[in-house]
Amino acid sequence: MIRITCPFCGERDHSEFSYGGDATVEYPALDASVGEWNEAVYKRSNPRGPHKEYWHHLNGCRSWLIVERDTLTHEVGKVEFAHPGLRAAVEKTA
Amino acid sequence: MSGYRLDDGGLINRDNPLTFTFDGKEYTGFEGDSLASALIANGVDVVGRGFKYHRPRGVMSAGVEEGGALLTVGGGRFREPNTKAPVQPLFGGLVATAQNAWPSVQMDVGRINDVMKRFLAAGFYYKTFFGVRGGTKDWMLFEKIIRKAAGMGRASREPDPDSYETAHAACDVLVVGSGPAGLAAAKAASDAGKDVILAEQDFVLGGSYLSRPGGIDEAVGAIDALRIAGVTIMPRTCVFGLYDSGVAGLIEQVSDDPGLHGVRQRTWIVRPREIVLATGAIEQPLAFGNNDRPGVMQAGAVRTYLNRYAVAPGKRAVVATTNDSAYAVAADLVAAGVGVTLIDAREIGPDAPDGVKVMRGMVPIRTKGNYVLKGVEIGTLDDEGYAAAHDTLDCDLLAVSGGWTPAVHLTSHRGPKPVWNDTIHGFLAGTTNEAIRTCGAAAGVYDHDGCIASGEAVAQGEAGPQPEEGANPAMPLYEVKSRGKKLKCFIDPQHDVTTDDVRLAEREGFVSIEHNKRYTTLGMATDQGKVGNVIGIAIMADASGRTISETGTTTFRPPYSPISIGALAGRGTYMHFRPVRRTPLHDWNLAQGAVMTDAGLWKRPWYFPTDGESMDDAYIREMKAVRSTVGLCDVSTLGKIMVQGPDAGEFLNRVYVNGFGKLAIGKARYGVMLRDDGIVYDDGTVWRMSETDFLMTTTTANAAGVMAKLEEFLQTRWPDLKVQLTSVSDQWAGIAVAGPKCREVLQAVTTECDLSDEAFPFMGIREARIAEADVWIARISFSGERAFEVYVRGGSANAVMDALWDTARPIGGVLYGTEALGALRIEKGHVAGSELDGRTSLDDLGLGGMASSKKAFIGKAMSEREGMRDPDRLQLVGIAPVDSDKRLRAGALLDSRSDMVDQGEGFITAVTDSPDLGHWIGLALVKGGLKRWEGKEMISFDPARDGNTAVRVMSPHFFDPKGERMHG
Amino acid sequence: MSKYSVWSVLREGLRGQTGWDRAWRDPEPKPEYDVVIVGGGGHGLATAYYLAKNHGITNVAVVEKGWLGGGNTGRNTTIVRSNYVQPVSAQFYEHSVQLWENLSHDLNYNVMFSQRGQLGLFHTPAARDAQAKRVNTMLACGIDAELLDREQVQAMVPHLDYSINARFPIIGAILQKRAGTARHDAVAWGFARAADKLGVDILQQTEVKSILREGGKAVGVETSRGTIRAKKVGVAVAGSTGHVMAMAGIERLPIESHKLQAFVSEPLKPLLDYVVSYGAPGSHFYISQSDKGGMVFGGDLDFYNSYAQRGNLPIVQDVAECAMAIMPCLGRVKLLRHWAGIMDMSMDGTHIMSKTPVDHLYMNAGWCYGGFKATPASGWHFADLIANDRPDDLTAAFSLDRFERGYTIDEKGMGPTPKLH
């Protein structure tokens, strides 16, 4: 069980979350070219080691989170809201 | 072996004799006995047969490492194969049977394999049995025989009648093991103010205390102190695995006989901050000739039987050792009145205990006896490490200590490979940066006081005592090589792996320890190498001229010892295997006689038979009624998502292929959304309640997925949009009221809302009240008839449905289920799940015209790819049989020829008998679609069921293609 | 090298097993080969074997960082079948089954392919139609398949759960009789031995550090045992594909590495004579019994990117629930071991066997759940691709550029989310 500390709910089992994939992928504008979309939709760097990834707190607060996790050890580092507004709000209260 | 009960002592209750049977014969033991101790006390010496050679096996140990006494406990539905007798507490009425023997353990015909053993070397089956004919037939003949001979216990074929459950816990410190180190660690952690759980796999706490004379009393004191301190103590609880973030999996044996309402085992998922492993060490055997004979035991186990169970496993004992630990065993044997000779492979060693004859520099070469142990040939080692016979000692018990190796399995579960330690000649846990620490014998500290000090220190974050060589260093012997006649020297008694097997594998190039393990099956038996791994690796190292450290070890995997599948499943069985989702109208539907069907996790009404109708009759009747009068259908399973906020319109514009920004308030619109890759994802309607409030409906299957995807968009891709999402799928029920008389029915129950075409046009939405409940009504149609959908809070759904049904029934209305729902949509050519199969594009489904050219949307870019525009893509068409009496089948393939090869030209996605058209119709996906095939004949190819049928391709809009009925 | 047969086993039995040679040599790397295959798993070894056997290219090295078959080859649940619904995949896997059928003879090594049959259970009328389509597709591709009703399934395996207590009742099954199981380790060893016999050098404990390129062409590999030049380089490293391809400057691929757990019970006397898979809504489970007697089973991925060859509890529990749902008699059967393999999950659920943007560098990856059963066909066609520098008819569809061109092969229709395939 990977334990993820949701900034809203606290430390929880990963089974409460749904994995959302590589968080470093930047989706292009909707009217961008096929080439740009192809990169975002299909290409992954798939690192062995530190990985920035999305987790959706599906059975919790429903926040999308950016989690730093090592794909080799599953050690979890920084966890923050994916939404920049929420991130800023957390920083303000911190 | 001629074991017997001692007159006094032991942690057994002599006032509570328990009767049990082994292979049909009745015996008596005492409360506190293990099955193994009770069998030994009754003089039972042969309890099983080896895996490969079917040689007789007796009890070899006193713990989970047992390699000989694997029995089936219980009968019928209760039979549990491969139970390790030393860890099974005796209970009254226990029924045990021997395994892997026919007709009996005494007279097992499988013994023929032992005679053939020279041919059955490691890996022999890779070299033969595949026959001379090509193909797999020959191998499969051999396989039948091999399968019967292999395996161990026989499992029941009836459902396990017992119950299991899952529980959760958290604590500061989880201490594993309740020996001297574990008890000391738990006390120290508790004294430091920590919340402690102490787990012990045995049914009695105390670990190695219990094997020492007088140790039981010492343990009781230490355990009482923990109870007073408030430590949570969990006996009969095996920590079977350590997982990520320090989460531990435990299985608690709650009861051996839980009865109808009790729980047999409980899985615990524990989330500790720190873990202290006090899991002890496992005594290692020595490899010598016929060292598997009943009567050969681990020396430490002998001590446990003497002191804990007051059982002497033999009358005349030889103790063979390479280290000091077995001297105490010899002393305890003498104290119990058993005559003892101790042979020590070393020239050094402690003084001989009183009454023990000690022979130094002497090793066991081979056991003697026919069936059970009668004696042991001993000898000295020459300079090259080969033994020369010296004498034969008569004995019925041979207690062997080849040294000890720490139980480092749990740390190994976390990844760190065990590290060889030359001081203790065993593997220590690899280093980890996780909060897992090891103490006591598990850390290579073998003396009793050292274990206590180690437990105390480690619990406080200190290093504590370290492994020491001691005054008389142990001799790393592992194997007694002999120049004489080749005898089987077992390393892994369960899988019958011998020293020759390891050496042969090495000669054949299986030099990696992982290869050697897999080729010889060493360490893959139910003890996972607890007994044989170290000597196996040592012999491998010797054969390949490497050190043990260079040879390395295999990876220990969870579970630490085998755990039942039932316990892991917990309560998630039968109807609780997956949640059952019921709509608010579930009971109402059942009361009306609905036959239910599974739709994902939902239970939905499939059809409503009257007077014993078949499904076909029922759904055709339901369809006809919808087309001629009116039908009511529970559509509550549709996803319902409130999309609210100033940017809701823009958001929907991006998500759907068609535009929503200009949707008028009070109107609904059909929408289709794509995946990022341009494939159709979902469809539904969107209702605009106000400038900023929309209700989106989704398909039943994608309700949760769409919600998660929309949240992803808002939180990760477009955080600037001011939109709030709320799933109301479970809060709101939906009822379709469809058919020419729908307005009549609805108007009767909602008088204040004008349902006329002028006031409530097609795709209009209105708030209203029915049966004193607030409802939303939308004039939308899936059936193609004039129709409304009524949405109401779940709690009022029954009242609203009652009101509608009371009005509909007298005028000939029906309730209809998913079968009719699906059939009606096929007549209309509406796409659903079987066409939205995750591979179809908008154009494929004939929906290309919906895509807005004025805006971009999710999936648009990728829809432009060459392959998405290929004229050979599978596209939606309608089909009907050429011979109108023929039926169609979903899942049939379509081709222009009847002798189809490869994939054909397409396939049928959905079919129904159409009462309006008077014949079967179907939807299909065909290469090139209508453009290529309209009006042409194809062959429906369905060898799975019906064979070939000629069909004609046509527009999928079979019924009322202009939609006059739903508008009118 | 001695040929394996019943006679050699008897002869060696009589002379104390002293006459067996090494199964494969342990050679020093040569400075140059015609082809270097990176990855000593089943696929890499099979590729080397078929390069030598089918194409006469014997100056080949297989370079393996650890020990042969140490990855997914030796970690899977050993199922071999060709019941795919996308025709190109069905045809590819069918070729594999055909190669499996004669593989023991071909390699002179018993890979124990047991064509005991696979039953794919279904639980709803819609699923029956979907399975009928699968049967029809398979039959059209010349593959054996049958659609069974509940009674037929019950007659074959009476101890599945047919009771009214079942959450998802069994209403029938698809049967592929020629499907079955094989002995996974033996596949690696058998291919290694046979390839070695044809002259292939198998270099274990040899880690590739970089892929050498000159003028846009791959020309060899830099390894922990020195530089090895090669006219062509083939990469067959499953979960490590991203890692190795990055050495050739191909940093991003349509692949994610996920872990898939596998489970084995204690050995039992024969309990299940078929491979059975379970496909109730939201469930994925498959089980068979090994010749040694262990129940071998597995389920879903752990659902997050991972290179750790160990699993976590939620899937352990889920798989146990599935086991009980299908065979409630397993309650008292004990789990002996569970572990995990690293799956190269592609973006459409189908493998990639392709030329790459670097000339003379070929990739073979993205096998998702199909890797073990594909082993011989993968080797066969990858060897063909490398030898001829162009894909054959059965391979063309599996190109790397199919994603950008819009020709994905989506077996499950789950789209570009690797964890869902």
The predicted-structure confidence for B199-236, as pLDDT tens digits, reads as follows 999 999 999 999 999 999 999 999 999 999 999 999 99
Res B112 pLDDT > 90: no
When divided into structural domains, chain B yields a total of 6
As a whole number of angstroms, the distance between CA B493 and CA B297 comes to 12
> Is the same domain home to B670 and B590?
no
- Alpha-carbon separation of residue B952 from B103, B362, B681, C140 (angstroms): 67, 92, 29, 21
Q: Which helix (H) or strand (E) holds B774?
A: strand B773-778
As a whole number of angstroms, the distance between CA B297 and CA C377 comes to 51
Mean pLDDT of the region A68-90: 96
CA R_g for chain C: 21
> Is the same domain home to B610 and B671?
no
Q: Which helix (H) or strand (E) holds B503?
A: helix B499-507
Ordered DSSP codes for chain A: --EEEETTTEEEEGGGSEEEEETT-----TTS-HHHHHHHHH-B---SSEEEEEEE-TTTT--EEEEEEETTT--EEEEEESSHHHHHHHHHH-
ipTM associated with this complex: 0.98
As a whole number of angstroms, the distance between CA B520 and CA B513 comes to 10
Q: Is B466 exposed, middle or buried (0-12, 13-18, 19+ CB in 10 A)?
A: exposed
Tokens for B316?
Answer: 């005349």
Res C1 pLDDT > 70: no
**Per-residue confidence (pLDDT) for residue C140, from 0 to 100:** 92
Residue B683 lies in a domain: yes
User: By C-alpha distance, which of B97, B70, B73 is closest to B84?
Assistant: B70
| Percent above pLDDT 90 for chain C | 94
Contacts 24+ apart (CB under 8 A), B257-265: B257/B91, B257/B93, B258/B162, B258/B163, B261/B163, B262/B163, B263/B162, B263/B163, B263/B164, B263/B165, B264/B162, B264/B163, B264/B164, B264/B566, B264/B567, B265/B164, B265/B564, B265/B566, B265/B567
Residue B810: φ, ψ to 5°: -65, -25
Range of the domain at B55: 4-113
Tokens for B844?
Answer: 């494929």
Res B901 pLDDT > 80: no
> Is the same domain home to B779 and B688?
no
**Per-residue confidence (pLDDT) for residue C129, from 0 to 100:** 96
Secondary structure (3-state) at B811? helix
- Alpha-carbon separation of residue B774 from B259, B639, B788 (angstroms): 51, 20, 16
Question: What is the model's pTM?
Answer: 0.97
Q: CATH no. for residue B810?
A: 3.30.1360.120
From first CA to last CA, the distance across chain C in angstroms is 43
**Per-residue confidence (pLDDT) for residue C159, from 0 to 100:** 97
Closest chain A CA to residue C347: A42
Residue B384 CB partners (closer than 8 Å, separation 6+): none
Higher pLDDT among residues B529 and C226, named by residue: C226
Res B945 pLDDT > 70: yes
CB spacing of C165 vs B528 below 8 angstroms: no
> Is the same domain home to B24 and B57?
yes
User: At C133, which amino acid appears?
Assistant: K
Residue B558 lies in a domain: no
When pLDDT is cut at 50, 70 and 90, the band that residue B70 belongs to is very high
Res A66 pLDDT > 80: yes
Please, are residues B629 and B832 in contact by the beta-carbon 8 Å criterion? no
Residue B241 lies in a domain: yes
Question: Cβ contacts (< 8 Å) between B654 and chain A: which residues?
Answer: 30
> Is the same domain home to B167 and B270?
yes
Q: Which helix (H) or strand (E) holds C235?
A: strand C226-235
Tokens for B886?
Answer: 């023929």
* Reported CATH class of domain A3-93: alpha beta
- Tell me the torsion sign for CA atoms B465, B469, B474, B477: positive
* Dihedral (Cα; B386, B389, B392, B395), 10-degree rounding: 0
**Per-residue confidence (pLDDT) for residue B899, from 0 to 100:** 73
Query: Which residue's structure tokens are 């410190």?
Result: B173
**Per-residue confidence (pLDDT) for residue B968, from 0 to 100:** 67
Residue C410 CB partners (closer than 8 Å, separation 6+): B679, B838, B839, C86, C348, C349, C350
> Is the same domain home to B540 and B606?
no
Q: CATH no. for residue B196?
A: 3.50.50.60
CB spacing of B676 vs A30 below 8 angstroms: no
Residue B861 lies in a domain: no
> Is the same domain home to B14 and B93?
yes
CA C98 to chain centre: 15
CB spacing of B834 vs C129 below 8 angstroms: yes
Query: Which residues are registered as beta bridge partners of B360?
Result: B344
Q: Rounded mean pLDDT of chain B?
A: 95
**Per-residue confidence (pLDDT) for residue C20, from 0 to 100:** 92
- With a CB-CB cutoff of 8 Å, which residues 687-726 of chain B face chain C? none
Residue B849 lies in a domain: no
Each residue of C97-112: pLDDT tens digit?
Answer: 999 999 999 999 999 9
> Is the same domain home to B718 and B681?
yes
As a whole number of angstroms, the distance between CA B221 and CA C131 comes to 65
Please, are residues B158 and C329 in contact by the beta-carbon 8 Å criterion? yes
CB spacing of B902 vs C312 below 8 angstroms: no
Question: Cβ contacts (< 8 Å) between C243 and chain A: which residues?
Answer: 48
Closest chain B CA to residue C318: B569
Length in residues, chain B: 968
Tokens for B306?
Answer: 């003497």
Each residue of C153-195: pLDDT tens digit?
Answer: 999 999 999 998 999 999 999 999 999 999 999 999 999 999 9
When pLDDT is cut at 50, 70 and 90, the band that residue B22 belongs to is very high
**DSSP E strand stretches across B131-216:** 164-176, 196-199
CA B940 to chain centre: 41
Ordered DSSP codes for C26-80: -PPPPSEEEEEEE--SHHHHHHHHHHHHHH----EEEE-SSSTTTTGGGTS--EE
As a whole number of angstroms, the distance between CA B877 and CA B956 comes to 5
When pLDDT is cut at 50, 70 and 90, the band that residue B7 belongs to is very high
> Is the same domain home to B614 and B736?
yes
Lowest mean pLDDT, pick from B316-320, B897-901, C344-348, C394-398: B897-901
Domain boundaries, chain A: 3-93
When pLDDT is cut at 50, 70 and 90, the band that residue B483 belongs to is confident
Q: Rounded mean pLDDT of chain C?
A: 96
| Percent above pLDDT 90 for chain A | 95
Res B187 pLDDT > 80: yes
Residue B272: φ, ψ to 5°: -90, 155
**Per-residue confidence (pLDDT) for residue C279, from 0 to 100:** 87
Each residue of B685-726: pLDDT tens digit?
Answer: 999 999 999 999 999 999 999 999 999 999 999 999 999 999
Residue B382 lies in a domain: no
Residue B43 lies in a domain: yes
CB spacing of C254 vs A22 below 8 angstroms: no
Mean pLDDT of the region B668-673: 97
- Alpha-carbon separation of residue A25 from A42, A54, A83, B33, B823 (angstroms): 10, 10, 15, 62, 43
Q: Is A1 on the interface with C (CB under 8 A)?
A: yes
Residue B306 lies in a domain: no
When pLDDT is cut at 50, 70 and 90, the band that residue B194 belongs to is very high
Question: Cβ contacts (< 8 Å) between A14 and chain C: which residues?
Answer: 304, 312, 314
From first CA to last CA, the distance across chain B in angstroms is 95
Residue B351 CB partners (closer than 8 Å, separation 6+): none
HSE-CB for B407 with a 13 A CA cutoff: 25
Question: Cβ contacts (< 8 Å) between C330 and chain B: which residues?
Answer: 155, 160, 565-566
When pLDDT is cut at 50, 70 and 90, the band that residue B132 belongs to is confident
Query: Which residues are registered as beta bridge partners of B450?
Result: none
Q: Which of A38, A46, A48 sits opposite C255 (nearest CB)?
A: A46
- With a CB-CB cutoff of 8 Å, which residues 75-94 of chain A face chain C? none
Mean pLDDT of the region B352-359: 97
> Is the same domain home to B173 and B275?
yes
- Alpha-carbon separation of residue B944 from B891, B910, B951, C138, C153 (angstroms): 9, 16, 18, 10, 16
**Per-residue confidence (pLDDT) for residue B536, from 0 to 100:** 94
> Is the same domain home to B434 and B511?
no
CA B494 to chain centre: 25
Each residue of B837-895: pLDDT tens digit?
Answer: 999 999 999 999 999 999 999 999 999 999 999 999 999 999 999 999 999 999 999 99
Give CA angle at C386 (C384, C391), nearest 5°.
60
Q: Enter the DSSP assignment of B731.
A: T
Q: CATH no. for residue B41?
A: 3.10.20.440
Helices B448-459 and B180-191 cross at an angle (nearest 10°) of 30
Closest chain B CA to residue C280: B600
| Percent above pLDDT 70 for chain A | 100
When pLDDT is cut at 50, 70 and 90, the band that residue A92 belongs to is confident
Each residue of B525-565: pLDDT tens digit?
Answer: 998 889 989 999 999 999 999 999 999 988 899 999 999 99
Question: Cβ contacts (< 8 Å) between C410 and chain B: which residues?
Answer: 679, 838-839
Res B270 pLDDT > 80: yes
> Is the same domain home to B682 and B626?
no
Q: Is B271 on the interface with C (CB under 8 A)?
A: no
CB spacing of A2 vs B271 below 8 angstroms: no
Q: Is C382 exposed, middle or buried (0-12, 13-18, 19+ CB in 10 A)?
A: buried
